[in-house]
Amino acid sequence: MDTGRNFVFCIIVDNILKEGGIRKYFIVLASILIMLCLGGIYAFSEYIPSLMLQYKLSALETQIIFGFMVASFAISFVIAGRLQKKIGPRISAIISSILFSGGYLLASISGGNLLILVMGMSIMSRSGIGFGYICSLTTPVKWFPKKEGLITGLSVAGFGGGAILLSQLVKEFTSVGVPLNRIFLIIGISYGIIILIAAFIIKIPEHSERVNTVNKYLVC
């Protein structure tokens, strides 16, 4: 009797998680979660006082870091958009997790060295944002083609909300005396884990995969 119940339960779960079931809602939530983590690109101003006070950087040096952030994000966004067609959103999200986390971890051991901060915070972590942004923005829309505006709005809202979230976190850490290198370490580890977990949830619908495969052979 128990075996029969277990079999029925497995069938029910499989039907729930199959394409068109509840899975697509989890994919949307995972994409928004990634956006929440990546939206911190707009919270850089919260780091500036600590960069100048603890690392003795000048105002110009902090703006150099920010300038490379914007440039790296824009360039990586273009590259990620081209690569995702070949590697898929899940691999893009995993790359995002590695680059984002690695960048913050590198910044945490920089000791205020401007070159290392640019490499970590600007180039690596913001390239990670580019990879994560493109997959989180385009993947959920494929599951809800008739609600493209709503889903895109939710994803972008998550990105904007990420700036507010990280700003508040940095303020709280700073107010209790947490040093900047420790803040970088905490963000790098925690956000990296969250993005990585979400990466294993997102995927494109199976019918999209079949269409892409057919198109590839037609082009060839």
Count of structural domains within the chain: 1
Is residue 15, in this structure, part of any structural domain at all?
Answer: no
179 has a pLDDT exceeding 80: yes
User: In Å, how far are 32, 54, 87, 156, 211 from 202, measured between CA atoms?
Assistant: 11, 39, 13, 17, 18
Q: Which helix (H) or strand (E) holds 102?
A: helix 59-108
To the nearest whole number, what is the mean pLDDT of the chain?
Answer: 84
Q: What is the pLDDT of residues 128-137, one digit of tens each?
A: 999 999 999 8
Phi, psi of 188 (to 5 degrees): -60, -45
Helix (H, G, I), strand (E, B), or coil: what is residue 142?
Answer: helix
Range of the domain at 134: 23-219
Please report whether residue 105 resides in a domain. yes
The two structure tokens encoding residue 152 = 């895109």
Percent of the chain scored above 70 by pLDDT? 84
pLDDT at residue 45, rounded to an integer: 87
Evaluate whether residue 8 is within a structural domain. no
Question: Residue 145: inside a domain, yes or no?
Answer: yes
Residue 10 in domain:
no
Confidence tier at 62 by pLDDT (50, 70, 90): very high
- Please check whether residue 68 lies inside any domain of the structure: yes
- What token pair was written down for 53? 């006070």
pLDDT digit string, tens, across residues 136-177: 988 999 888 888 888 888 888 888 898 899 999 999 999 898
Return phi, psi of residue 82, to 5°. -75, -40
The CATH number of residue 195's host domain is 1.20.1250.20
Lowest-confidence segment of 8-12, 104-108, 175-179 by average pLDDT:
8-12
Distance CA 64, CA 193 (A): 28
**Tokens read off for 18:** 């199959």
Sorted by sequence, the CB contacts under 8 Å of residue 107 that are 6+ apart come out as 116, 117, 120, 121, 125, 181, 184, 188
What are the tokens at 143? 């599951």
pLDDT at position 193 is: 95
CA 42 to chain centre: 14
Q: How many CB atoms lie within 10 A of CB 99?
A: 24
Whether 18 is in a domain gets the answer no
User: Is 188 a member of any domain?
Assistant: yes
Please state whether the predicted TM-score (pTM) of the whole model is above 0.85: no
